[in-house]
């Protein structure tokens, strides 16, 4: 997971840090990214923090040996990655390629990303570690949509499905299964306990 997250973070940093906006996407998306450059750059570079920091937050060893580091990385993850990246992601969702289906998919993803982040924060402020952990797992499952989206895309191209058809479906497929897997993992842990 950490490997894939860092891979997508590297892709985003290179493509949006070095190339002109929307260099590797559909020509309609390129027009949108040029029109809403602040929105897409805030989204990409904000959300990058979540992908870069998120995977290490689940390391029990790091939490036990460097609790202050976990706290600061968590603040950056939530404050820059999720809050900044999520608000800009919600803004970009209104302009996403793929019509109402894609826009609703990305929009709901953004709302859930922001709200699970808020619930995780409130839980830890209230001292409820178990609830904080569950909300963070859900939140990172949503962060991981940035990875699964980029696994679905080449998969759909390889199977010959037109991008215009695949993209609205992928706007949902990139995050709904991630949340289901997170919930199944909670249930398995509960049964095993």
Q: Which residues bind ligand HEM (CB under 6 A)?
A: 8-9, 12, 15, 24-25, 29, 32, 43-44, 47-48, 50-51, 89, 92-93, 96-97, 106, 109-110, 113, 142-143, 145-146
Of 43, 36, 39, 44, whose CA–CA distance to 18 is shortest?
A: 44
Distance in angstroms (rounded) separating the CA atoms of residues 163 and 81: 28
Query: Minimal distance in Å, beta carbon 42 to ligand HEM?
Result: 11
* Shorter beta-carbon distance to ligand HEM: residue 7 or 67: 7
* Shorter beta-carbon distance to ligand HEM: residue 9 or 123: 9
Query: Minimal distance in Å, beta carbon 184 to ligand HEM?
Result: 20
The set of residues, in sequence order, having a beta carbon less than 8 Å from that of 20 and lying 6+ positions away, is none
Distance in angstroms (rounded) separating the CA atoms of residues 140 and 187: 17
Of 90, 51, 89, whose CA–CA distance to 73 is shortest?
A: 51
Query: Minimal distance in Å, beta carbon 8 to ligand HEM?
Result: 6
* Shorter beta-carbon distance to ligand HEM: residue 143 or 156: 143
């Amino acid at each position: 997971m950490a490997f894939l997250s860092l891979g997508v973070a590297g892709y985003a940093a290179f493509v949006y840090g070095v190339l002109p906006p929307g260099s590797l996407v559909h020509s309609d998306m390129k027009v949108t990214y040029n029109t809403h450059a602040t929105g897409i750059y805030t989204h990409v570079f904000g959300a990058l923090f979540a992908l870069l920091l998120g995977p290490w937050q689940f390391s029990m060893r790091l939490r036990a040996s460097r609790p202050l580091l976990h706290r600061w990385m968590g603040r950056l993850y939530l404050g820059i990655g999720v809050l900044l990246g999520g608000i800009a992601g919600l803004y970009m969702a209104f302009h996403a390629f793929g019509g109402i289906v894609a826009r609703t998919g990305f929009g709901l993803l953004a709302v859930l990303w922001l709200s699970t982040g808020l619930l995780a924060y409130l839980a830890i402020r209230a001292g409820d570690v178990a609830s904080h952990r569950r909300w963070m797992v859900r939140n990172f499952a949503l962060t991981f949509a940035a990875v699964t989206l980029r696994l679905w895309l080449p998969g759909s191209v390889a199977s010959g499905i037109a991008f215009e058809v695949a993209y609205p479906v992928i706007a949902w497929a990139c995050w709904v299964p991630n949340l289901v897997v997170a919930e199944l993992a909670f249930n398995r842990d509960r049964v095993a306990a």
